Structure 1
């Protein structure tokens, strides 16, 4: 019995150390919250993801001609699919995934200190603070800080 207790205590301690180490490695990274894809027809994609998958349109940003530049489809409270139109520079398919960070500036500094190529932060049309990591395996990872005035934050808060 004592051996089982020692084993269980060791297992628990090892798990706790792993969890703490993993959390500290990326301090300030809260969660992965979206995947971006480029589609040939944004409105058709919105219809598909709404009617077939049951997602809801959380928000959209249109260009100066009134055409969708991006549409966020809400899958769950904190999970989204970002739809962008195909362009010459952005072919159909996967474009990026997004991480929510507590402070975009601090996240940029942390990832740059590890030798990564990271853009400076900028305020997006959606009022989120963004930066992008160049990833050698899939292209782009978006760092997203969600202040209360951001469309993302408002969509998360309105989830029922």
Structure 2
């Protein structure tokens, strides 16, 4: 493992639904709108959402040549949670469709899946102490 790597710094999405995306990530999921950046002409360019510590989601405003990606190489964003059942209930209470789960995956972690307003898949995952993730991170002592 590269001990110079601290963690995932950010994941980035281009959107033509900025208000919906900010509502989803900030109001529904409870992440913090950290700051905004404007482009060289002073127009809105990126909204930064702080997930935890120095981990962010970057939301780029759609513009010509910078359209939202549908499909492509992106797979999904995984957000680790402490209580998956509480997250599942919270998503559903906010009319967010949970299209898979909650259930235990092959890796023994608990997960459920939803999509943001642009259709990007998001895995919400609760680490199980018997999972290979917990063992690799030294959470089990095994």
Shorter-chain-normalised TM-score: which range?
0.3 to 0.5
TM-score by length of 2: 0.45
Q: TM-score, normalised by structure 1?
A: 0.41
